[in-house]
């Protein structure tokens, strides 16, 4: 006979408790796995948690689809910033007869805003040193300028475009730039004057002020000397070229030329 002590629990009850405990553990592990799977599905290589927060709030341009693949989105959620070069700061280039670059820039920028708003996009017109540029978050930012009034030689004609070099998503800015170069050249008929792209463009002050993942480009729409007639008499055409470049980026449209440098260029200027 065994000594008296704590009664033994029936084996059937112990087995039932083990089954319940095991089932509960499996359920918890399954739930955790489901959450992790959801997070990894939403994450794409190169994205950081900060990027994900930005995406949830701003719905940036196409990220999942490859270039040329049509995407669907709410256009009003796509915020586009347009900087009118030198506006509310200084005149920019000034021609002998008093024509100011800032006037030309503002007219074209305002027309770009109008064209995009008519298509349903949310567009913000910004001044050169607009206080909103600090940490500015948008689907795309484009700064509009024009080149010198000085006569250099007969080859000083055409446009140029450059992207930010300090962006966290250089591929997005590069694609925005390529879209602008492709559409602007096709619509305006102007050649790409890539030989005269300067540090003032690639190191443009606004590039260092905006949010680090806002795709950004700067475009010089033409020379105020040899391209003056086009810029002052056909600003609508210049605006159409820029607006088409922006929608090319927003809609993830195909471009024939992968990089601006592949475009026909105006020969290098020799002062």
28/165: higher pLDDT:
165
CATH of residue 82's domain is 3.40.630.40
Over residues 117-136, the pLDDT tens digits come to: 999 999 999 999 999 999 99
Residue 21 lies in a domain: no
Average pLDDT over every residue of 78-102: 98
In total, how many domains does the chain have?
1
What's 168's DSSP letter?
S
Q: Residue 46: which pLDDT band, with cuts at 50, 70 and 90?
A: very low
Over residues 180-217, the pLDDT tens digits come to: 999 999 999 999 998 889 899 999 999 999 999 999 99
195: containing domain: 73-262
Q: What is the pLDDT of residue 167?
A: 86
Find out whether 138 and 80 touch, Cβ atoms under 8 Å.
yes
Residue 25 lies in a domain: no
Q: What is the pLDDT of residue 12?
A: 43
128/169: higher pLDDT:
128
Residue 267 lies in a domain: no
| Residue bearing tokens 């341009």 | 61
Residue 168 lies in a domain: yes
161/75: higher pLDDT:
161
Q: Three-state DSSP class for 213?
A: coil
Output the six-digit token pair for 6: 């704590």
Residue 16 lies in a domain: no
Q: What is the pLDDT of residue 68?
A: 52
* Distance of alpha carbon 248 from alpha carbon 49, whole angstroms: 28
Over residues 208-259, the pLDDT tens digits come to: 999 999 999 999 999 999 999 999 999 999 999 999 999 999 999 999 864 4
The pTM score is: 0.71
Task: Say if residue 166's pLDDT is above 50.
Answer: yes
Residue 10 lies in a domain: no
Task: Say if residue 42's pLDDT is above 90.
Answer: no
Please classify residue 38 by burial: count the beta carbons closer than 10 Å to its beta carbon, then call 0-12 exposed, 13-18 middle and 19+ buried.
exposed
Residue 183 lies in a domain: yes
Task: Say if residue 31's pLDDT is above 80.
Answer: no
Q: What angle do CA 107, 110, 114 make, to 5 degrees?
A: 135
**In this structure, how many other beta carbons lie within 10 angstroms of the beta carbon of residue 225?**
17
Q: What is the pLDDT of residue 75?
A: 74
Residue 164 lies in a domain: yes
Task: Say if residue 25's pLDDT is above 80.
Answer: no
Q: What is the pLDDT of residue 146?
A: 98
């Amino acid at each position: 006979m065994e000594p008296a002590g704590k009664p033994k629990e029936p084996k059937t009850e112990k087995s039932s408790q083990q089954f319940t405990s095991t089932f509960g553990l499996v359920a918890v592990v399954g739930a955790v796995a489901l959450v992790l799977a959801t997070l990894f599905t939403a994450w794409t290589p190169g994205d950081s948690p900060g990027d994900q927060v930005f995406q949830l709030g701003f719905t940036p341009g196409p990220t999942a689809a490859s270039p040329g693949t049509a995407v669907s989105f709410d256009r009003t959620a796509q915020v586009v910033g347009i900087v009118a070069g030198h506006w509310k700061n200084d005149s920019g280039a000034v021609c002998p007869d008093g024509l100011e670059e800032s006037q030309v820039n503002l007219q074209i920028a305002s027309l770009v805003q109008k064209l995009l708003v008519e298509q349903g996009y949310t567009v913000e017109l910004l001044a050169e040193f607009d206080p909103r540029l600090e940490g500015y978050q948008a689907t795309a930012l484009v700064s509009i300028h024009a080149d010198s009034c000085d006569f250099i030689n007969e080859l000083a004609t055409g446009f140029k475009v450059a992207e930010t070099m300090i962006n966290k998503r250089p591929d997005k800015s590069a694609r925005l730039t390529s879209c602008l170069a492709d559409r602007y050249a096709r619509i305006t008929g102007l050649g790409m004057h890539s030989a005269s792209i300067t540090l003032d463009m690639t190191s443009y002050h606004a590039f260092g002020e905006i949010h680090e993942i806002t795709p950004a480009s700067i475009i010089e729409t033409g020379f105020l000397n040899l391209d003056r007639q086009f810029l002052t008499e056909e600003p609508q055409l210049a605006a159409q070229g820029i607006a088409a470049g922006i929608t090319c980026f927003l809609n993830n449209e195909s471009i024939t030329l992968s990089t601006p440098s592949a475009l026909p260029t105006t020969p290098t200027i020799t002062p």
